[in-house]
Every structure is written in structure tokens, then in C-alpha cells.
Amino acid sequence: MKSSRSSSWAIGGLVVFLAAGVLAQVPSSTPSTTSTAAVVPTQVPSSQPLPHNPVYPDTPRDNRTSPSFPDSEYVKLLDYSLRFYEAQRSGKLPPDQRVTWRKDSVLDDGKDVGLDLSGGYFDAGDYLKFTFPLTFAMTETCWGALEFWKGYELANQTRYLDQMVRWGMDWLIKAHPNNNTLFVQIGLDQIDNNYWGPDTNIPRPRPSFQVNNTHPGTDVTADAAAAFASCAMLYRDKFNDTAYSNTLQTHADSLFRLAETATPQQLYQAAVPAVACCYKSSSFLDDLAWGAAWMYKLTRQSVYAQKASQYIDRLNISNIKISAVSWDDKAGFVYVLMAGATAGTGDNSAKWQQMAEKYASFTTKASKPCLMTKGGLYYCTGDSGDDSAVVAANAAFILQIFASQLTAAAGGQSIDPSVQERIDSYRSFALGQVEYLLGDNPLKTPYVVGVHPNSPANPHSAPASGGTDVDNIDSSPEKMMYTIYGALVGGPDKNDRFSDIRSDWQQSEVALDYNAPFNGLMAYQVMTSEVAPPYVVIPAGRPDLPPILNGMEVWQIILIIVACIFVVIAIGAFVCYRKRDQIRAWANAKKEKKANDYSTAHPMKPTVNRNNNSNANTSNTNDNNQDQAVRSLAVPPPPPIRSNQQEQQQQQQQQQHRPVPPPPLPARGEPVLLENVHRS
């Protein structure tokens, strides 16, 4: 599982790691001045320092049509992205340093182990140095330069690319002082994350942490081998610097051998628990495959292709699944890298091509856990929460490279329509993510610092902030002291919202690995784009988006309420259907009780049968049936119809049975005679 970078106020327990003894340091080669001839563009970026505060055009353009080729805005973006790495430099800064507000820093790194481990790059918005994300950033940058070298030439950025890569690789050479040792972290997060201030007063101690042949870190060692191999290829094939290329290849061979032979093979946090704070690894098999793939691409030795295939197979991912490619998951990169490297060979090229096609297809279709946000950002649950911008940039980077490989495989011949359709879909996906990151999003915000008034104004960067109060980094100072031009920030959330505050490090932090794919993507845009980035036509000011309650928009809450009501109704209907017989019996019983209650309250007079003919029995039966029917209906029957003779007989009977009234009582004082008393 990918680890999160620690926040600036995180406080944890002290982690102690005793550094093992180290041997003699491998010397760094002298920087070469050799480079290929560059094609000068219409507008050459200035090598002078940029102003501390950005200066933007007064009004946006009417349209995105570029007045020149290459487009000056994409040239600027590539230039700014490389400048960002100068803002992250550690150690003794060179005389031609363009980011002048940065100062020399932590020149005593490595003193605790008797080595000079100064230099290199600070990882993110703090002052720690990590090997794992650095090697990934170097590999991705060198790969992008190998694929899109022409873009660097057109933008006149090959010199700055050389400086950027060499600054990182020179430190990695220091970090690999012998065949059995690799330093993986300088500094301690519990100390560093409680400091928010300038680079001139970074707190100590800054312990040095290493993996070696007795305390292995299989993943980080293999990843370092990939960095040395990829950049060795860049210096050999593009910069024509054979000496430096050979030095890098020597380190690549040594590190890959260490990754394979040091036992037990394990995640590097098992040897260095301190790294779990920030860059905890989840597997070493993808790193071994990644290292083997780059060793194959550099040397063309089939044994490395076989190793890459074996390590990928051990990942048990024959059914290609979507995952966000990153410093911690390189499987998707391995598919595409090996598909290109083995094309036209007998080194299992069909297998790699199929795997790359599946991965690219699933990515463009945006299948779970990686889906598109409402605004169009490629967002992977579980990965994009900490840094959504780089997840989208990595996906765009890998698809742009795969599309270029498929185009190159045609060798200038006509491309099969079905293949061309896939190429177009990959390029469309990549361009969509690039344009989202450059302003074509609901907030009309380019997520690159210093290119537009809507750019992030408060990136999580201690050196750029100018503040010293770790408990109030959002308000002290109110405005950033320096602009860290070109930095790609963490990015928006799944609802396309962005929190432009320094303390929200998930969205506002800057980091080495964030800009690594951005370098290559901007080089490709310089090569191909005839229009400017989306932000050139966007006016200043972010639009107001619909409110979100408890992480959800209002329409989502309404939809949930309606859905709940529907579910309740559906459940009620289902229960009624299942109990329909009981309900029917209950309704009939209630109806019958009501009828009985009415009959009790309204009794019927008895009907006497006065027929003396031979049909008396039949008449009695009919009367009984009639009485039952009347009682069930609770309606009195009509009086019977009688003949005149029957009426006379009834009157005679009534007179015969009429009682005789008693005699009147005697008057007061009159004697009472017994014979006058009526006997009934």
C-alpha cells in the first residue's frame, strides 16, 4: 500500500537505525561539456533567474492558436519544470544556479557515517532526502528524454536537462559507495516535520540510513539499478557522453546484482524502518522487473528479458488489472517498456505487446478502481487521494509513449486502421489529462505554480514560504515569499475541488516524482502542439462550484434521499405481496365483524309463517334462508304481502288473545269486594 508523506506537524516516536560500516566511495566522474546540437526555437527561454513573484499578461488571449512553432507557452512550461528541480537542490549550489533564493544547505550530510552525502535533491516540501522516489524520478525523466528528445532540442532545454539529471545521478553515485551498500534516506521525519523555515537553519541530527548485503532492500536497490541504466542510455545515445554513461552502467550492474543476490529478498522498510513514515514499499517484484527491463534495454542481453518476464509472472497478474503507476507500482511501466524494447526480437515480444495493449486499453476505458471525475481527471481510489495530479500525469505519460511506439513500429508505412484507432484513443486520453492539469477543469486552475493568476498560490514548500512558525504555516506569512515556478502540486480531490492552503499537503505539496512525467509530457507538447495550453484563454478568478455537504454535492444528497424513499416503498410492496393471503383474511374478518356489529345494533323482528298449506316446510326453509341473507346484509326485509282473508284471520286471532283489562280501583273509603279482583 502506498504510504503518505507526513504532514508538517506530525510527531512520532524516535526511530534509531545503526549504520553499518562502509567502504571506499566510488568517485564521481567529471561533468561532460559534450552535447548534441540543439534546434533553436522561435523563442528561447532566458537562463536568467525568474522574478520572485510572477508577472502575468493583463488579459487572456482570444484563442489558443499559437503564433509560432514550437508554442512559446509549452516551451516555458518545460523550462519551468526543469527549474523546479533547481529549487529542490541540496548541498553546495553551483554558480549558474537560476533559483537564486535558494542557499547552500546541509553540507555535512553523511558525516555520521564518514562520507560526503551532501548534494542531491530534497524530496518534497521539506528537507528530507529519499532514494526511492529520487530513482523513480530520474528513471522517468531519462525515459521521457529518450522518447521525446526532439522536444528538449526545440525548446533549447538540453543543457538544463543535463544539469537536472546529472545533479541527481551524481548524488546517487555518492549513495552507492561500494558494491554492497546503498544509502536510502538522509534525515529523520520526526525532526524535519517539526521544522518550517529557511534552508539555512535545517535542524540536526540528520542520520544516514542504508541497505546492504546483510540488511537488504530488494525493491529500492533494483529501482536504483533502473535509474542508472536508463540515464546511462540517455548519456550514451543522446548526450554522447560515453565516459559518464559507462560510470552509470557500472553502478547499474552492481546494484542489480545486489538486488538479486542479497538475501533474504525483502522490502526495504524491513531493514530501515524509518522509511515507512513516507515511502513504504508494497512489493519488490515490480522493482526487480523494472530493473531487469532497463538492463535489457541498455545491454540488449536476452537474459535480462527473461528475468523481467519471470518477475512479472511472479506478481500473479496474468490478468492485467488497472493500477496507478507510481514510485511504488511499476508494473504498467514494465509492460510498455518491454513491449517497445522487444519489438522485432525473439524475446517474448508478443507477450509484452499483449500485456501493454491490455493495460493501455483498460486505462483509457477508466475501469475501477480508476475512473474519471466529473471534470475529466483520471482518478484512482487508494492512490489519487494523496496526489491526484501525478497519477493522471503518469497515466498520460505511459500512454503517450505507447502510442509513439506503435507509430514507430509502422516504420513510416501506412498503419492498420484498427491500430490507428487505438493510437488515437491513447493520445486523446493523454492530451485530455494534460489539458485538465493546465486549466481545462471545473476550477479553471492550472495545477502548475507560477503560470497563471489561478495557479496554486500556496504550495506546501518550506523554503519557498519564507515562514518560520510550524504551527501556523497557512498564515505565517500570509503570502508566499518566493514563487516555486514550474512545480506540479498534489492536485484536486475526486470532486474536482482544490484546497489552496499550505497545510493541505495532499493537494498542495510539491515533490520530485510529481514533475518527472510532466517533463516528458511537456517535451512531447513542444514537439507536436500547434495550440497553446488551455490557461491562456482563462480569465483570472476561480469559479464557484456547487456546495458539497459531508463530501457530497447537493444533487448527490437529493439523489440518495429519493433512492432511500424508493427502497422503502419497494420493500413495503414486497412484504405485502409475500403476505397477501394473511392480509386478505384479515380484511375479510374485519368486514364480517363490522357486519355482525351492525346486526347487533339493529335487531330484526321475527317473521311468523302463517301458511297452513302443504308447503309449510318449504316456506320455513325459505324463511330461514331469507333470514340468513338479511342478517349478512344487515338490511331489514320488506314486510310480507298477505291476502284479505289472511288479514281477517290475523285480526280475529289478535282479538282472541288480547288480555282483559283489570276493573277500575274503588274510590277512597269504598270497601273492596274480592269478586271484583281480576285473576289472570
Residue corresponding to grid cell 498560490:
457
308-313 long-range Cβ contacts below 8 angstroms, 24+ apart: 308/334, 308/338, 309/338, 309/348, 309/351, 311/285, 311/286, 312/285, 312/286, 312/355
Which residue, among 290, 70, 31, has the nearest Cα to 163 in the 3D structure?
31
Which residue, among 546, 606, 168, has the nearest Cα to 374 in the 3D structure?
546
400 in helix, strand or coil?
helix
Q: Which residues of 430-452 are buried (b: 16+ CB within 10 A; e: fewer)?
A: bbbbbbbbbbbbbbbbbbbbbbb
Biggest CA–CA distance in the chain, Å, is 164
Instruction: Give, in order, the Cα–Cα distances in Å from 184 to each of 46, 175, 361, 419, 425.
Output: 35, 8, 35, 43, 39
CA–CA distance, 118 with 105 (Å, rounded to integer): 8
**Phi and psi at residue 363, in whole multiples of 5°?**
-65, -45
211 in helix, strand or coil?
strand
How far does Cα 620 stand from its chain's mean position? Answer: 89
**What grid cell was written down for 340?**
517497445
Q: How many helices (H) and strands (E) does the chain have?
A: 20, 7
CA–CA distance, 375 with 378 (Å, rounded to integer): 9
Q: Using omega within 30 degrees of 0 as the cis cutoff, is the peptide bond preceding 273 cis?
A: no
Residue corresponding to grid cell 339493529:
602
* Residue 48: how many other CB atoms lie within 10 Å: 8
Q: Tell me if 186 sits within 8 A of 110, measured CB to CB.
A: yes
**Phi and psi at residue 380, in whole multiples of 5°?**
-110, 115
List 500, 553, 623, 627, catalytic entry: 500
Torsion of CA 505, 508, 513, 514, to 10 degrees: 150
Residue corresponding to grid cell 455537504:
549
CA–CA distance, 636 with 630 (Å, rounded to integer): 6
Q: Using omega within 30 degrees of 0 as the cis cutoff, is the peptide bond preceding 205 cis?
A: yes
Q: How many residues does this entry show for the chain?
A: 680
Q: Tell me if 326 sits within 8 A of 390, measured CB to CB.
A: yes
Instruction: Give yes or no: 347 in active site.
Output: no
Q: Tell me if 530 sits within 8 A of 66, measured CB to CB.
A: yes
Q: Is 3 exposed, middle or buried (0-12, 13-18, 19+ CB in 10 A)?
A: middle
Instruction: Give yes or no: 500 in active site.
Output: yes
CA–CA distance, 15 with 425 (Å, rounded to integer): 48
Q: Tell me if 154 sits within 8 A of 148, measured CB to CB.
A: no
Which residue, among 429, 436, 534, 523, has the nearest Cα to 65 in the 3D structure?
534
List 260, 329, 440, 509, catalytic entry: 509
Residue corresponding to grid cell 524491513:
270
CA–CA distance, 173 with 24 (Å, rounded to integer): 12
Residue type at 8 in one-letter notation: S
Positions annotated as catalytic residues are 500, 509
